[in-house]
C-alpha cells in the first residue's frame, strides 16, 4: 500500500520560500496563506475531519500549472485540485496540507459548444448553473444532464466522479458521457485524450467528439479523485431537448414495491430517469421541516421524468408505463401513478422544482451537516437493501432518507441513504448509523462513489488483492512522489 504517513510539507524547503515561488508563478493576487482565506477549504458539509491547507492558488493557464507541478514534485508538496468542493465526500479536504488549486475562480470558461456532434468543451471550473444558462440562451434545442446538486457545483468534478443525473436511466454514469480530456501529469506533460489527440500543440474545437477506439487512457483520471493529474479541459456530451415533457409521480404502498418497478421500467426504454425516494425525502423536498411518515402513508415515491418527440410517442410510452404497473400490481404490488404536473397544481407548485435542475434543494442544507452513503448497487439486491437499512434507521430512531435510481437501461442501480445532521449536536449518532449502513450495503455488493477515505479503508479489506496491487502500481507510476491529493483511497 502507498505510504500514508503524516508528512512534513516543509521538510525540504521553507514555507516562506514556497510562498515566494507561488507568487512568482501565479502573481500576488492569486496566492494566499491567510487563515481566513484558507479556512473554507479546510472542511466540507460531511463528517470528514477538517484539515487546513497551507496555501490556496488560483490558476489561469496551463503554463502556471506545469511550473507548479514541477516545483511540488521537487519538494514533495501536496497539490489538492478543487473546483467548488461540493462532492459530499471530503475529497478536497487537504488531509496532508499543501496547496489547494482552485479552478473555480478563473479556469471556468465554456470553450465551445458543438451543435453538430452535441458536446460542450469546458474548463474545469464551469458550474451546472452556468452551462444550463448558456444552453438555454444559445442552444435551446440541446440539453445537458443534471444531478440534484446545487447550480453552483461543478460539471467536470461531477463527470470525473461518475455522477448520476436526470437522464440516468438512459445514459447511466456521467463518466460514460466524457468525450475527451486535457490533463497535466506529474512529469509536466500536457496530454489530450480522446479524438482530440490529433495535433501536436493544439486540437481543433470540433475534434472532441469521441473517446474511442484508441486505448482508453481516460480511465486513469476517472474516479481517481484528483490523484493522478490536473484536468484542464473536458468535453461532455449533450442531448437533444425533446419538446414534449410529461413527468409522472409514482407512489408505492409496499415497502419494497419500488424494487421490481425500477427494474422493469429501467429496461423498457421509456423514461429519462427514475428518482425514487422514501416519503420523508419527498416531504423534505417540498419544505416540510423534520419530515416523518405517518403509518397510513406510502413509504416510497418516485419522480419519473418522461419526454418525447411527439404526442403519439409520449402516449405510447405512457401506455407501456401503465402496463408495467398493472402487471406488477396483478402480481401483488400496490403502485399508483399520477401525472406529476397535475399533482403539483393540486399540492404545491414548488414541487415542480425537482424538474428544474440544477435547482437548489434548500432543505438539504437545512442543517450544518450533510453526508451520504452513495453507492452503485446491484439492482437485484434493492429489496434487501431497503429492508436492512430500514431496520437500522429504526434502531437509531432516524427517519429513513433513501434515494434510489435505475441506470443505463436497467443495467445497474443507485442506492443512496442520505443524512442531514447538526455537526455539533448529533454527528456521532449519525456517523454510527452511517457506518452500520455502509457495512450492510458493502456486504450486499454496493460500490460507494465519491468515497471518503474512511470508507475506502473498509473497501480495501474486501477488494481482490490483485486489484489493489494494480491500483497501487498505477498510482505510483502516475504520481511517484504522491503529490496529487494524497490520502484519497488511503494513498
Ligand X SMILES: Cc1cc2nc3c(=O)[nH]c(=O)nc-3n(C[C@H](O)[C@H](O)[C@H](O)COP(=O)(O)OP(=O)(O)OC[C@H]3O[C@@H](n4cnc5c(N)ncnc54)[C@H](O)[C@@H]3O)c2cc1C
Of 53, 78, 97, 150, the one binding ligand X (CB under 6 A) is 150
In the bound complex, what is the minimum distance in angstroms from residue 403's beta carbon to ligand X? Answer: 8
Cell numbers found for residue 103: 479552478
233-272: which residues touch ligand X (CB under 6 A)?
A: none
Pick the closer one to ligand X by CB: 248 or 485: 485
Of 59, 90, 97, 157, the one binding ligand X (CB under 6 A) is 157
SS3 of 387, please? helix
Mask 101-130, x = binds ligand X (CB under 6 A)?
--x--------------------x------
C-alpha pair distances (Å), 176 with each of 113, 130, 164, 245: 18, 22, 10, 25
Q: Report how many residues bind ligand X under the rule CB under 6 A.
A: 32
Q: Give the burial class of 90: count Cβ atoms within 10 A of its Cβ; 0-12 exposed, 13-18 middle, 19 or more buried.
A: buried
**DSSP class of 309:** S
In the bound complex, what is the minimum distance in angstroms from residue 56's beta carbon to ligand X? Answer: 12
Mask 175-194, x = binds ligand X (CB under 6 A)?
--------------------
Q: Determine if 148 is a binding residue for ligand X (CB under 6 A).
A: yes
Mask 449-468, x = binds ligand X (CB under 6 A)?
-x------------------
**How far, in Å, CA of 106 to CA of 443, rounded?**
43
Pick the closer one to ligand X by CB: 148 or 301: 148
Of 142, 149, 220, 306, the one binding ligand X (CB under 6 A) is 149
Length of the chain: 491
413-432: which residues touch ligand X (CB under 6 A)?
A: none
Of 32, 76, 108, 153, the one binding ligand X (CB under 6 A) is 153
Window contacting ligand X (CB under 6 A); options: 151-159, 294-302, 346-354, 462-470 = 151-159
Neighbours of 426 (CB within 10 A): 16
Mask 59-98, x = binds ligand X (CB under 6 A)?
---------------------xxxxxxxxx--xx------
C-alpha pair distances (Å), 240 with each of 32, 155, 178, 415: 43, 18, 17, 28
List beta partners, residue 371.
Answer: 419
Pick the closer one to ligand X by CB: 81 or 180: 81
DSSP per position, 171-230: H--GGGGEEEEEEE-TTS-EEEESGGG-SSS---GGG-S---SS--GGGGTTTSTTSS-E
3-state class percentages of the chain: helix first, strand second, coil last, to nearest 5 = 40, 20, 40
In the bound complex, what is the minimum distance in angstroms from residue 205's beta carbon to ligand X? Answer: 19
Which of 65, 21, 56 is CA-nearest to residue 184?
A: 65
Residues that bind ligand X (CB under 6 A): 80-88, 91-92, 103, 124, 147-150, 153-154, 157-158, 160-161, 163-164, 225-226, 230-231, 364, 450, 485
Amino acid at each position: 500500500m502507498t505510504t500514508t504517513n503524516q508528512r512534513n510539507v516543509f521538510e525540504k524547503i521553507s514555507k516562506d520560500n514556497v510562498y515566494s515561488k507561488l507568487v512568482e508563478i501565479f502573481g500576488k493576487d492569486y496566492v494566499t496563506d491567510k487563515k481566513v482565506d484558507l479556512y473554507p477549504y479546510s472542511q466540507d458539509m460531511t463528517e470528514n475531519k477538517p484539515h487546513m491547507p497551507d496555501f490556496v492558488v488560483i490558476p489561469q493557464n496551463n503554463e502556471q500549472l506545469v511550473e507548479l507541478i514541477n516545483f511540488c514534485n521537487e519538494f514533495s508538496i501536496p497539490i489538492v485540485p478543487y473546483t467548488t468542493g461540493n462532492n459530499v465526500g471530503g475529497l478536497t479536504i487537504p488531509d496532508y496540507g499543501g496547496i489547494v488549486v482552485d479552478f473555480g475562480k478563473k479556469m471556468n470558461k465554456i470553450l465551445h459548444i458543438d451543435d453538430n456532434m452535441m458536446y460542450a468543451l469546458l474548463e474545469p471550473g464551469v458550474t451546472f448553473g452556468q452551462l444550463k444558462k448558456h444552453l438555454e440562451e444559445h442552444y435551446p434545442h440541446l440539453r445537458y444532464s443534471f444531478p440534484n446538486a446545487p447550480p453552483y457545483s461543478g460539471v467536470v468534478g461531477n463527470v470525473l466522479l461518475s455522477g448520476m443525473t436526470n437522464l440516468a436511466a438512459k445514459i447511466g454514469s456521467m463518466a460514460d458521457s466524457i468525450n475527451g480530456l486535457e490533463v497535466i501529469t506529474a512529469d509536466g506533460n500536457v496530454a489530450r485524450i480522446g479524438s482530440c489527440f490529433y495535433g501536436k500543440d493544439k486540437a481543433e474545437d470540433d475534434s472532441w467528439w469521441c473517446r474511442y477506439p484508441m486505448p482508453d487512457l481516460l480511465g486513469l483520471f476517472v474516479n481517481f479523485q484528483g490523484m493522478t493529474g490536473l484536468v484542464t479541459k473536458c468535453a461532455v456530451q449533450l442531448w437533444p431537448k425533446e419538446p414534449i415533457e410529461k413527468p409522472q409521480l409514482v407512489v408505492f404502498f409496499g415497502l419494497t414495491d419500488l424494487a421490481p418497478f425500477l427494474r422493469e421500467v429501467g429496461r423498457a426504454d421509456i423514461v429519462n430517469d427514475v428518482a425514487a425516494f422514501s416519503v420523508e425525502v419527498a416531504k423534505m423536498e417540498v419544505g416540510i421541516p423534520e419530515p416523518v411518515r405517518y403509518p397510513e402513508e406510502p413509504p416510497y415515491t418516485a419522480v419519473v421524468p418522461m419526454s418525447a418527440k411527439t404526442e403519439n410517442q409520449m402516449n405510447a410510452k405512457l401506455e407501456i408505463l401503465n402496463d408495467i404497473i398493472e402487471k406488477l400490481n396483478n402480481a401483488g404490488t400496490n403502485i399508483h401513478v399520477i401525472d406529476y404536473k397535475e399533482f403539483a397544481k393540486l399540492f404545491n407548485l414548488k414541487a415542480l422544482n425537482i424538474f428544474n435542475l440544477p435547482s437548489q434543494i434548500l432543505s438539504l442544507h437545512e442543517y450544518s451537516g450533510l453526508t451520504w452513503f452513495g453507492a452503485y448497487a446491484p439492482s437485484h439486491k434493492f429489496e434487501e437493501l431497503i429492508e436492512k437499512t430500514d431496520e437500522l434507521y429504526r434502531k437509531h430512531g432516524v427517519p429513513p432518507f433513501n434515494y434510489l435510481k435505475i441506470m443505463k437501461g436497467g443495467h445497474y442501480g443507485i442506492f443512496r441513504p442520505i443524512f442531514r445532521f447538526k455537526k455539533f449536536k448529533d454527528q456521532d449518532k449519525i456517523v454510527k448509523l452511517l457506518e452500520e449502513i455502509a457495512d450492510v450495503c458493502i456486504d450486499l455488493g454496493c460500490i460507494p462513489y465519491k468515497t471518503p477515505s474512511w470508507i475506502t479503508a473498509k473497501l480495501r479489506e474486501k477488494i481482490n488483492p490483485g486489484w489493489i496491487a494494480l491500483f497501487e502500481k498505477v498510482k505510483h507510476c502516475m504520481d511517484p512522489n504522491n503529490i496529487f491529493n494524497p490520502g484519497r483511497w488511503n494513498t
